[in-house]
Amino acid sequence: MRIKNPLHQVSTPRRRFVQGVIAGGVLAAFPSVLHAASSLIAGTSTGTAPELSGEVIDLVIDESPVNFTGVVRMATTINGSIPAPTLRLREGDDVTIRVTNKLSVPSSIHWHGIILPYQMDGVPGISFKGIMPGETFVYKFKLQQSGTYWYHSHSGFQEMTGMYGALIIEPREKDIISADNEHVILLSDWTDDDPMELFRKLKIQGDVFNFNQPTVPEFFDDIATSGVANALQRREMWNQMRMSPTDLADLSASAMTYLMNGTAPMANWRGLFKAGEKVRLRFINGSSNTFFDVRIPELKLTVVQADGQNVEPVTVDEFRFGPGETYDVLVEPKNDAYTIFAQSMDRSGYAKGTLSVAANIDAPVPALDPVEWLAMRDMMGNMDHSAMPGMDHSAMGHASMDKTSMDQGAMDHSTMDHGAMAMDHSTMDHGAMAMDHSKHNMGKNPLAVPSQKVRHAKTEYGASIDMRVDTPRTNLDDPGIGLRNNGRRVLTLADLRSLDGIVDHQAPEAEIELHLTGNMERYSWSFDGLEFGKSTPVHMKHNQRVRVILQNDTMMTHPMHLHGMWSDLENDQGDVLVRRHTIMVQPAQRISFLTTPHDLGRWAWHCHLLFHMDAGMFREVVVS
């Protein structure tokens, strides 16, 4: 790969970050400090991944040295490349994937977003025991879907050290998305440090990698521009609650190098196109801990697929996606070169590459956007609760919410229990209100609309929790912190509509409410204040349509990934919008989705920020 001028137009970032070495992969000479291992002669190949296809695939997990930043480090790789080979499979095929583990520790591969038997899902400790050192595990499953997906290790931090690759399933019939050319663009993050060591540092000091913290000079600037009272007021809540308004990413560019197709920014990954071509870009966020805000200056992005599922085309300038999510976009380039720019959500760095007609043409690289403070809505949700759509208080009238009148009403507890599986008493009140409606008013399904009543778990009042939201926001049209009113058309969840026939419009028969919780000072993450080790599974009835409400009681955004079944995102009116496998939940936001677990077994459900997952924001789901 030739680069005209490696330093060309790299606008000065707010802070310097590791942009990597120009040549990825591995240098000829390795320092002798590397662990001696048998198969280390060959380095890791980086850049556009090799492609494998067919019904039988062999993958080998091993360690191999890699150099992204000027320092040689050991990576865990699949078939010796970062990213791992792109698997191009075909819908309807029965595939056999033989995975051999040559590491000295157990490993695994999870097929992210793929509907398959639970024993093939690849989560050690849940779907199987893991792939032991030296062992070959044979994955066999039928591909029941098409689209852009990915695969990665689900063991320890192996994903973070190189084990991720694209998984593309071609539709059995002709693809309704037509393009002349296509590129997989897999974004990831790399660290030269031992991930567990980074995790330990966060346990010691939660803001150790945040170099955008509020300062005293900023405070005086604020006083100068808006007066003492306003400057104090702007900080009061944060200081009182001991939370940072710039806590946007646990691991910033001070610890990470952001990669595009296994290529550091300085090395500039390149995708070629011919003039006049319509190009499909399959964006995959395969990073461990990084939200990327992706745009291609001067080029409109027409989003045609989300998480592998076709959506009604929507044209935007930019989209944000978290670890685990994928977006397919169509572009029609007119210029000779464009920069694909993916800045991290905390604005500490970026991944970038070039889309061009020839190998020697580059486009300017934009500057990082300024760091924004989290807003009140990220902390408190919707403060103006009278304006909350669907908020029951006004609609129902307070008298009808009165518990006494409820008890005196025609409420039948046994019916309730039947209708609303596993609901505790506090839901009962709400359910009862809806029930009341169904009996005496419009005969509507009590679960037609997601419940708006916030029900904190009793375990949300302890040391594992640093905040709770009582007035969550339920709107889906917020692009999120750092993207609001930036002058660009930014994709939001409200823009996405699955094409007809994709989502299931059946009404739910039960409702499950869980809160996403954490404590940044202790660096603890959980559902309902219970880290995984203290939790019990969520049971779902086989083939029963169920609504899941996720309320984010933290100030960070969490990409929530439910294995083994689809998450059909709905709005707060109960209209199903789009089928996803990973849904980003913003701070103080309450979202809901419907799912029908068609496959029996045990499934993982977690935040796809790897460190949040490992800290305990993880639940098991039992379908029986």
Partner 1 sequence: MRNLTLSTVLTSALLISAPLLSLNVFAQTEMGDMSGDMAGDKMQPQGGDAPKNARDPHAYANGTTLTQGPYALADGERLTLADEYKFYAILGDRLEYNEQADAAVFDLQAWYGTTFNRLVIKTEGDVSYGKLEENQTDILWGHAISAYWDTQVGIRYDYYKEGKNRQWLAFGIQGLAPYWFELDMTAYVGESGNTAFTAEAEYELLLTQRLIIQPRAEITFYGKDDEQNELGSGLSSTAIGVRVRYEFTRQFAPYVGVEWTNKFGSTADYAKLNEQSSNDTEFVAGLRFWF
- Show contacts with partner 1 in window 209-238 (CB under 8 A): 209, 211-217
User: Any contact of residue 347 with partner 1 (CB under 8 A)?
Assistant: no
Burial class (CB in 10 A: 0-12, 13-18, 19+), 387: exposed
The candidate with the shortest Cα–Cα distance to 549, out of 599, 496, 593, is 593
Q: Which of 423, 565, 584, 594 touches partner 1 by CB under 8 A?
A: 423
| Cis preceding-peptide flag for 265 (omega within 30 of 0) | no
CA 209 – CA 244 distance, rounded (Å): 13
User: Any contact of residue 118 with partner 1 (CB under 8 A)?
Assistant: yes
Nearer to partner 1, 393 or 444 (CB): 393
Q: Which of 328, 378, 495, 614 touches partner 1 by CB under 8 A?
A: 614
Minimum distance from residue 45 beta carbon to partner 1 (Å) = 31
**Contact between 452 and 366 (Cβ < 8 Å):** no
Q: Which of 316, 365, 538, 565 touches partner 1 by CB under 8 A?
A: 538
Q: Which of 55, 470, 506, 543 touches partner 1 by CB under 8 A?
A: 470
Minimum distance from residue 145 beta carbon to partner 1 (Å) = 23
The candidate with the shortest Cα–Cα distance to 557, out of 287, 284, 351, 249, is 249
Binding mask 280-309 for partner 1 (x = CB under 8 A): ------------------------------
Which residues, 442 to 461, sit near partner 1 by CB under 8 A?
455-461
Nearer to partner 1, 302 or 471 (CB): 471
Instruction: Identify the H or E element spanning 355.
Output: strand 350-356
387: DSSP letter: G
Minimum distance from residue 291 beta carbon to partner 1 (Å) = 21
Q: Which of 38, 225, 414, 536 touches partner 1 by CB under 8 A?
A: 536
**Contact between 556 and 518 (Cβ < 8 Å):** yes
- Which of 63-71, 81-89, 339-347, 598-606 is the region at the interface with partner 1 (rule: CB under 8 A)? 598-606
Nearer to partner 1, 51 or 407 (CB): 407
Q: Which of 398, 399, 414, 477 touches partner 1 by CB under 8 A?
A: 398
CA 378 – CA 345 distance, rounded (Å): 14
User: Any contact of residue 42 with partner 1 (CB under 8 A)?
Assistant: no
The candidate with the shortest Cα–Cα distance to 618, out of 517, 519, 515, 531, is 531
Question: In 109-261, which ranges are continuous DSSP H helix?
Answer: 195-204, 216-241
User: Any contact of residue 615 with partner 1 (CB under 8 A)?
Assistant: yes
Q: Which amino acid is at 185?
A: I
Nearer to partner 1, 148 or 464 (CB): 464
Minimum distance from residue 470 beta carbon to partner 1 (Å) = 5
Which residues, 144 to 203, sit near partner 1 by CB under 8 A?
199-201, 203
CA 165 – CA 155 distance, rounded (Å): 15
Q: Which amino acid is at 517?
A: T
Minimum distance from residue 606 beta carbon to partner 1 (Å) = 9
Nearer to partner 1, 32 or 215 (CB): 215
**Contact between 376 and 310 (Cβ < 8 Å):** no
Q: Which of 234, 439, 488, 522 touches partner 1 by CB under 8 A?
A: 522
Q: Which of 521, 543, 573, 575 touches partner 1 by CB under 8 A?
A: 521
User: Any contact of residue 543 with partner 1 (CB under 8 A)?
Assistant: no
**Contact between 74 and 105 (Cβ < 8 Å):** no
Minimum distance from residue 240 beta carbon to partner 1 (Å) = 5
Instruction: Identify the H or E element spanning 415.
Output: helix 413-419
User: Any contact of residue 12 with partner 1 (CB under 8 A)?
Assistant: no
Minimum distance from residue 306 beta carbon to partner 1 (Å) = 27
Q: Which of 104, 136, 230, 624 touches partner 1 by CB under 8 A?
A: 624
Which residues, 119 to 148, sit near partner 1 by CB under 8 A?
123-126, 128-129
In sign, the C-alpha dihedral spanning 289, 295, 296, 299 is positive
Minimum distance from residue 391 beta carbon to partner 1 (Å) = 10
Q: Which of 27, 34, 228, 422 touches partner 1 by CB under 8 A?
A: 422
Provide the pairing of β-strand 292-295 with 318-321: antiparallel
- 3-state secondary structure (DSSP) of residue 80: coil
User: Any contact of residue 524 with partner 1 (CB under 8 A)?
Assistant: yes
User: Any contact of residue 436 with partner 1 (CB under 8 A)?
Assistant: no
Provide the pairing of β-strand 269-272 with 318-321: unpaired
Give the phi and the psi of residue 78 in degrees, each rounded to 5.
-110, 120
Instruction: Identify the H or E element spanning 14.
Output: none
User: Any contact of residue 206 with partner 1 (CB under 8 A)?
Assistant: no
Residues ≥6 apart with Cβ < 8 Å to 490? 316, 317, 318, 319, 320, 479, 483
User: Any contact of residue 30 with partner 1 (CB under 8 A)?
Assistant: no
118: DSSP letter: G
User: Any contact of residue 501 with partner 1 (CB under 8 A)?
Assistant: no
CA 530 – CA 536 distance, rounded (Å): 9
User: Any contact of residue 469 with partner 1 (CB under 8 A)?
Assistant: yes
**What b/e readout covers 513-549, taking b as 16+ CB neighbours within 10 angstroms?**
bbbbbbbbeebbbbbbbbbbeebeebebeeeebbbbb
Which residues, 237 to 256, sit near partner 1 by CB under 8 A?
239-242
- Which of 38-46, 51-59, 70-78, 117-125 is the region at the interface with partner 1 (rule: CB under 8 A)? 117-125
CA 63 – CA 424 distance, rounded (Å): 49
Q: Which of 383, 448, 494, 502 touches partner 1 by CB under 8 A?
A: 383
Q: What is the dihedral angle through the alpha carbons of 289, 148, 116, 590, rounded to the nearest 10 degrees?
A: 50
User: Any contact of residue 512 with partner 1 (CB under 8 A)?
Assistant: yes
131: DSSP letter: B
Minimum distance from residue 544 beta carbon to partner 1 (Å) = 12
Nearer to partner 1, 318 or 614 (CB): 614
607: DSSP letter: E
User: Any contact of residue 535 with partner 1 (CB under 8 A)?
Assistant: yes
CA 196 to chain centre: 21
User: Any contact of residue 375 with partner 1 (CB under 8 A)?
Assistant: no
Minimum distance from residue 415 beta carbon to partner 1 (Å) = 18
Interface with partner 1: number of residues (CB under 8 A): 90
User: Any contact of residue 523 with partner 1 (CB under 8 A)?
Assistant: yes
